[in-house]
């Protein structure tokens, strides 16, 4: 018998709620902990996951696999071509390895919630307890309410409630430790030899592949894994956070921001770890402007997940604000193409779109400028821009992207 953790966008071993719960349950039951990642090609196609993000995912999985192997914990990557086979693939895998309890961190997009709910039900028939945990936000979505008891719809009051909630409830004081080594008595290396021996990760579908040259370049720009995320975070705290409040809105300044968004998206860094590190770096004083401004940006990420949970219609190609449902947008293919190629003739717009194509990342101020230019100047449907961002960004995240385009 075994207990398992199913990794999704939480590719780290420190401060990973579900992994920690699985580890504790395994210890209490006296059984080994094993891990799974489901690589579902159809889901990645349906969710427009960019080639750069998938490439980073594969590279992050390698780091994770190695880190877990040092703890005698195997990580198996299950490849699924069609999403309708995901559930059976998971149930079969659990059955094969004697998994009685499976843990995962919750994803709040509608498709994922439906998939998880179905698996909870199917698990009951297959003697598998499937437990899903809140993890990705500092404060779980939809928890905070305004004075009138309603979920917040505007960021500033949300932040005013979020920040004291975080300090008062000491959310950052008990981050989950990494799992410890599987007990030698389980002889995990032998029992799960097949899982440890998996040497190749899935090959991406043709339309999701980067050229070799691009892959090599992006691997240098965006090294994978939680050690790298931690190193980037430390550098940012030591060298740049003090000036963040003044410099974060200046795309002309190199490295004004942390460039940690690909790590938050992959889950190689948790939002809690980031806020805690910023708080501790500030050394117990009341937060100075730079630290405070950065923590506030991380709260934006929480806020947009909260919007997604409270207004799931945003997952269905609908506008967040109902009054914008029936706007008659223009569909000028030439204008759209020139926007995507950075050939509009407006230097800052073009520079931003070329940064997107080169580094698969764009400065926040520039994201705002090009988004505004697409829908308010070119009058094109914002959903085309939203889609293009997802198809290209290495940090593409549904909630932040969708909200960035319209909230």
Chain centroid, CA 396 distance in Å: 8
Among 163, 182, 389, 392, contact with ligand FAD (rule: CB under 6 A): 389
Residues 376, 393 contacting (CB under 8 angstroms): no
Return the range that interacts with ligand FAD (CB under 6 A); candidates 39-47, 138-146, 309-317, 365-373.
365-373
Closest Cα partner for 388 from 346, 348, 359, 356?
Answer: 356
Give φ, ψ of 13 to 5 degrees.
-105, -20
Among 265, 307, 378, 394, contact with ligand FAD (rule: CB under 6 A): 265
3-state SS assignment for residue 38: strand
The response to whether 261 counts as a known ligand-binding position is yes
Residues 295, 245 contacting (CB under 8 angstroms): no
Nearer to ligand FAD, 14 or 53 (CB): 53
The response to whether 50 counts as a known ligand-binding position is no
The response to whether 260 counts as a known ligand-binding position is yes
130 binds ligand FAD (CB under 6 A): no
Nearer to ligand FAD, 100 or 329 (CB): 329
Closest Cα partner for 178 from 4, 394, 17?
Answer: 17
The response to whether 117 counts as a known ligand-binding position is no
Token pair recorded at residue 254: 């190199």
CB of 92 to ligand FAD, least distance (A): 34
CB of 17 to ligand FAD, least distance (A): 18
Residues 361, 259 contacting (CB under 8 angstroms): yes
- C-alpha 132/C-alpha 113 separation (Å) is 10
259 binds ligand FAD (CB under 6 A): yes
Return the range that interacts with ligand FAD (CB under 6 A); candidates 41-49, 192-200, 224-232, 396-404.
396-404
Alpha helix ranges (H) inside 244-288: 244-247, 261-266, 271-281
CB of 3 to ligand FAD, least distance (A): 31
Closest Cα partner for 392 from 366, 371, 362, 372?
Answer: 362
CB of 257 to ligand FAD, least distance (A): 3
Q: What is the dihedral of CA 101, 27, 135, 178, to 10 degrees?
A: -140
Give φ, ψ of 291 to 5 degrees.
-60, -40
The response to whether 297 counts as a known ligand-binding position is yes
Token pair recorded at residue 286: 């009341």
393 binds ligand FAD (CB under 6 A): yes
261 binds ligand FAD (CB under 6 A): yes
DSSP string, 103-169: EEE---SHHHHHHHHHHHHHHHHTT-EEEEE--SSSS-TT--B-TTSPBP-SHHHHHHHHHHHHHHT
10 binds ligand FAD (CB under 6 A): no
CA distance readout (Å), 220 to 46, 215, 324: 28, 9, 41
> For residues 284-303, which are near ligand FAD according to CB under 6 A?
297-298, 300-301
139 binds ligand FAD (CB under 6 A): no
The response to whether 280 counts as a known ligand-binding position is no
- C-alpha 193/C-alpha 222 separation (Å) is 32
49 binds ligand FAD (CB under 6 A): no
232 binds ligand FAD (CB under 6 A): no
- Residue 407 per-residue DSSP state: -
# residues contacting ligand FAD (CB under 6 A): 26
401 binds ligand FAD (CB under 6 A): yes
364 binds ligand FAD (CB under 6 A): yes
108 binds ligand FAD (CB under 6 A): no
The response to whether 34 counts as a known ligand-binding position is no
> For residues 298-337, which are near ligand FAD according to CB under 6 A?
298, 300-301, 304
Beta strands in 192-273 (DSSP E): none
> Which residue of the chain is nearest ligand FAD when measured via CB?
404
- Residue 56 per-residue DSSP state: H
Nearer to ligand FAD, 102 or 371 (CB): 371
From residue 239 to residue 258, what is the string marking binding to ligand FAD with x (rule CB under 6 A)? Answer: ---------x--------xx
Token pair recorded at residue 66: 């190695």
CB of 351 to ligand FAD, least distance (A): 15
Q: Which residues bind ligand FAD (CB under 6 A)?
A: 248, 257-261, 264-265, 297-298, 300-301, 304, 364, 367-368, 371, 389, 393, 395-397, 400-401, 404-405
The annotated binding site is made up of: 244, 257-261, 294, 297-304, 395-397
Binding-site residues for FAD sit at 244, 257-261, 294, 297-304, 395-397
């Amino acid at each position: 018998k075994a207990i398992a953790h199913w990794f999704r966008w939480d590719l780290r071993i420190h401060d990973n709620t579900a992994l920690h719960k699985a580890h504790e349950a395994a210890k209490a039951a006296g059984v080994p902990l094993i891990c799974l990642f489901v690589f579902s090609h159809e889901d990645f196609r349906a969710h427009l996951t960019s080639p750069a993000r998938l490439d980073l995912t594969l590279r992050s999985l390698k780091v994770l696999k190695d880190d877990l192997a040092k703890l005698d914990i195997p990580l198996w990557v299950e490849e699924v071509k069609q999403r309708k086979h995901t559930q059976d693939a998971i149930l079969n895998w659990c059955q094969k390895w004697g998994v009685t309890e499976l843990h995962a961190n919750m994803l709040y997009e509608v498709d994922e919630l439906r998939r998880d709910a179905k698996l909870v039900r199917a698990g009951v028939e297959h003697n598998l307890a499937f437990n899903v945990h809140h993890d990705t936000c500092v404060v779980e979505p939809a928890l905070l309410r305004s004075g009138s008891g309603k979920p917040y719809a505007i960021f500033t009051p949300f932040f005013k409630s979020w920040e004291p909630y975080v300090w008062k409830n000491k959310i950052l004081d008990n981050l989950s430790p990494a799992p410890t080594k599987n007990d030698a008595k389980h002889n995990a290396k032998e029992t799960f030899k097949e899982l440890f021996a998996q040497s190749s990760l899935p090959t991406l579908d043709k339309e999701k592949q980067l050229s070799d040259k691009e892959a090599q370049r992006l691997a240098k720009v965006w090294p994978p894994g939680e050690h790298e995320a931690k190193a980037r975070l430390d550098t940012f705290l030591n060298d740049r956070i003090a000036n963040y409040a003044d410099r974060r809105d200046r795309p002309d300044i190199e490295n004004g921001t942390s460039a940690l968004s690909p790590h938050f998206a992959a889950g190689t860094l948790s939002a809690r770890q980031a806020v805690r590190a910023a708080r501790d770096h500030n050394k117990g004083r009341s937060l100075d402007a730079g630290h405070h401004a950065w923590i506030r940006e991380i709260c934006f990420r929480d806020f947009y997940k909260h919007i997604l949970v409270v207004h799931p219609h945003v997952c269905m190609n609908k506008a967040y604000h109902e009054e914008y449902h029936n706007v008659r947008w223009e569909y000028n293919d030439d204008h759209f193409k020139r926007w995507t190629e950075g050939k509009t003739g407006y230097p800052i717009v073009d520079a931003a779109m070329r940064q997107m194509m080169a580094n698969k990342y764009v400065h926040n101020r520039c994201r705002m400028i090009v988004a505004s230019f697409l829908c308010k100047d070119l009058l094109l449907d914002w959903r085309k821009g939203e889609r293009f961002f997802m198809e290209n960004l290495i940090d593409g995240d549904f909630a932040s992207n969708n909200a960035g385009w319209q909230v």
